[in-house]
Amino acid sequence: MMMDVTNALAVIRTLEAQSVQVWLGDGGWGVDALLGEQTRPHKDVDLIVRVDQAEDAVQALGGLGFVLVEGRLSSCFVLRDAEGRSVDVHPVVFDGEGNGDYTMENGEAWVYLAAWFGGNGTLQGEPVRCLTAQGQVECHSGYELDDEDRRDLAALNERFGVDLLPEQRFPVL
């Protein structure tokens, strides 16, 4: 089952209603929010929350039928509902400068820079918090990108003029 915009917004608004600070993370819906339109289907919604609100997030989304299916609340975790829709959560600890320290599944640390949390996007015309275009570019590095990733990054480059890394561009034929 795909995560459509109505469901993605319901997840975000449910968390906000419980005072959970939430940002659309790197990837599909975060890119589409920046672009202000859905550009492709999405199998999940990637979110960033504060690690001290992870338990609150799980409880809040339980009200929508989501249950914890993998991961740990101190690291990456995934919630899924009976329809197969998924919420992929990256909990962070904010440091004194506003950077979000995220412990990946392999135990390595990833830092979301404070400036990246300033993204403003829209889903169905409704404002949502998300990573900035520069944050999206930086988060899409260090691993093998697929064609969807490259298209997402090319769209951000075209719309916002953000510089892409060489490995993020489609090969020139």
Q: Could you tell me which residues are beta bridge partners of residue 23?
A: 48
Place of tokens 């005072």: 19
Residue 169 domain flag: no
Residue pLDDT tens, the chain, 173 long: 899 999 999 999 999 999 999 999 998 999 999 999 999 999 999 999 999 999 999 999 999 999 999 999 999 999 999 999 999 999 999 999 999 999 988 888 999 999 999 999 999 999 999 999 999 999 988 788 888 888 999 999 999 999 887 777 765 43
22 neighbors 48 (Cβ within 8 angstroms): yes
Residue 171 domain flag: no
- CA 24/CA 47 separation, integer angstroms: 5
Q: Which amino acid is at 92?
A: V
The distance of Cα 148 from the centroid of its chain, to the nearest Å, equals 15
User: What's the pLDDT score for residue 1?
Assistant: 82
User: What's the pLDDT score for residue 56?
Assistant: 98
Residue 167 domain flag: no
159: its two tokens: 């719309």
Q: Which residues contact 57 (CB under 8 A, 6 or more apart)?
A: 15, 18, 20, 22, 47, 49, 89
Residue 115 domain flag: yes
User: What's the pLDDT score for residue 27?
Assistant: 83
104 neighbors 110 (Cβ within 8 angstroms): yes
Residue 25's domain is classified under what CATH number? 3.30.460.40
- CA 106/CA 99 separation, integer angstroms: 20
- The length of the chain is 173
Residue 102 domain flag: yes
Domain count, the chain: 1
Domain housing 145: 5-161
Residue 137 domain flag: yes
Strands 44-50 and 86-94: parallel
Residue 170 domain flag: no
User: What's the pLDDT score for residue 152?
Assistant: 92
Alpha helices in 18-170 (DSSP H): 28-35, 54-62, 133-139, 147-160
User: What's the pLDDT score for residue 172?
Assistant: 45
- CA 57/CA 72 separation, integer angstroms: 13
